[in-house]
Amino acid sequence: MNKQILRLAIPNIISNLTVPMLGMVDLAIMGHLGSEVYIGAIALGGMIFNFVYWGFGFLRMGTSGLTAQAYGAGNDKEMSLVFGRAMFVGFLAGAGIILLQLPIEFVSFYLMDGSAEVESLASSYYFIRIWAAPATIGLYAFTGWFLGMQNSRYPMIIAITVNILNVLLNYLFVFQFNMSSDGVALGTVIAQYSGLVLAILLFLKSYRKYLKYLSFRGMMKWEPLKHFFMVNKDIMIRTIMLLFVFAYFTSESARMSNTILAINTLLLQYLFVFSYFIDGYAHAAEALTGKFTGAGDKVQLKKIIRYLFLWGISLSIPFMLAYLFAGDRLLFILTNNTGLILQSAPYMYWVALLPLVSFAAFIWDGIYTGATATVTMRNTMIFSSLIIFLPVYYLTKAPLENHALWLAIILFMASRSILLTLFRKKAIYGRLSSAILRSKSKSY
């Protein structure tokens, strides 16, 4: 069982870690340009694309769960049709984002409250990077489908290629062509389209045979199409609420000061590094949970969940200890601004708590996605965002100031971990038992 988990998790970890590493490289490049406004520009511009792109992260998660279930059931035609639906929705969404770039920009900067200089740089960044939308969302669909097919190697190859190319281009544009945040945006656009081309080539190399099952009529059949959109709708709402929390965190940081914005942006990289690391196991959970759910194997499903949580707790404790005792030293990698590093120290204790309170939420997200138990995922995220995060911040911001933001994030993550654990029997095991009973009744 551990071999199955690691076969999927290790490539996922490698590919996932390239994402925050890229963000950290971008911050490091901006952090060495001599002003904190460049860090703020990347933070605000990046937050917009967190909403725009991560809001469509449902496409990767939903595609992964549905494909894995079809894989477990041995249904080649449905595997192919899920891929077709995902790609159709992905490219349609990417084109729509480009067409709506002006209203998206207006609303985004209306809601954010940064300094004029920061917003000017962030706007330049935005209007360049927006052109990567079709490629970025198309890659979500490819990644989800590959993972559902129990293939985590191809997403790893794509992610490593895209992010290495991105880093090289960012360095070239910023330090050789004397660009700033706009150079980082341009590098991202070129790298994303390069990744899309690579994904198409990998698909044709190994999965060309599935093209024979693709048909527009098959993709548009009402019941499977309805299920596809219902699963993705719930994940989209869940993702939007998650993005709302981090966007609110960033926006409130900007309202406090450019310095607090820079500090919190730097410290959030610690959470992102851990989250992408533990998400390697969450993505393995998606693939394996979907496979065993599709196959109707409750015994193996329970076993894989038990092993996944053993890995989760085993990873969260070392991260917590590393952040607690060496976290401040790691900031020197991101910036040479000693003032920011010194002012970050009081908040490092919050950062150290994050792995311990959040690992269960990440693992359960993968399990719930693989089982397509998305209604519970959605509802727990809404509760944790609106009933936990916002009230905690508003009740404590006067006495605690920036500490209130970190307290709210800690309780938000802890709430998700607890609620998803409490609902597991009905949402995961109960759902599978009902599916097995329906399958048996049909066979008679």
Residues 360, 309: contact at Cβ < 8 Å? yes
Residue with tokens 């019941």: 223
pLDDT, tens digit, 9 for 90 and up, residues 122-174: 788 888 888 988 998 999 899 999 999 999 899 999 988 988 898 888 888 87
Q: What is the pLDDT of residue 420?
A: 95
Taking the alpha carbons of 396, 399, 405, 411 in that order, is the dihedral positive or negative?
Answer: negative
Taking the alpha carbons of 150, 151, 152, 158 in that order, is the dihedral positive or negative?
Answer: negative
For the ranges 89-93, 237-241, 332-336, 431-435, which has the lowest average pLDDT? 431-435
Which of 33 and 133 is assigned the larger pLDDT?
133
Residues 93, 77: contact at Cβ < 8 Å? no
Taking the alpha carbons of 24, 364, 404, 382 in that order, is the dihedral positive or negative?
Answer: positive
- What letters, b where the CB count within 10 A reaches 16 and e where it falls short, cover 414-427? bbbbebbeebbeeb
In the Cβ-directed half-sphere of 426, how many Cα atoms lie within 13 Å? Answer: 8
Three-class SS string for 212-236?
Answer: HHCCHHHHCCHHHHHHHHHHHHHHH
Q: Which amino acid is at 380?
A: T
- Compute CA distances 75 → 80, 82, 243, 265, 367, whole Å: 9, 11, 34, 45, 21
Measured between alpha carbons, how far is 181 from 26 in angstroms, rounded to an integer? 9
Give me the torsion for CA of 299, 304, 310, 314, rounded to 10°: 170
Q: Average model confidence (pLDDT) for the chain?
A: 84
pTM for this predicted structure: 0.78
> pLDDT at residue 55 above 70?
no
> pLDDT at residue 53 above 80?
no
pLDDT tier at 18, thresholds 50, 70, 90? low
Q: What is the pLDDT of residue 228?
A: 81
Residues 177, 43: contact at Cβ < 8 Å? no
Our measurement of the distance from residue 254's CA atom to the centroid of its chain's CA atoms, rounded to an integer in Å, reads 23
pLDDT, tens digit, 9 for 90 and up, residues 376-433: 999 999 999 999 999 999 999 989 989 999 999 999 999 999 999 999 888 887 766 5
Measured between alpha carbons, how far is 329 from 6 in angstroms, rounded to an integer? 30
Q: What is the pLDDT of residue 310?
A: 94
Q: What is the pLDDT of residue 441?
A: 42
Tokens standing for 102? 């002006």
- Quote the number of domains for the chain: 1
Q: What is the pLDDT of residue 422?
A: 93
Owning domain of residue 380: 2-443
pLDDT tier at 112, thresholds 50, 70, 90? low
Q: What is the pLDDT of residue 33?
A: 60
Q: What is the pLDDT of residue 437?
A: 43
- Compute CA distances 128 → 38, 42, 50, 125, 372, whole Å: 16, 13, 15, 6, 36
Counting Cβ atoms within 10 Å, is residue 209 exposed (0-12), middle (13-18) or buried (19+)?
Answer: exposed
> pLDDT at residue 19 above 70?
no
Tokens standing for 38? 């460049």
pLDDT, tens digit, 9 for 90 and up, residues 283-334: 899 889 988 888 888 888 889 999 999 999 999 999 999 998 887 777 777 7
In the Cβ-directed half-sphere of 428, how many Cα atoms lie within 13 Å? Answer: 27
Q: Which amino acid is at 426?
A: K
> pLDDT at residue 439 above 70?
no
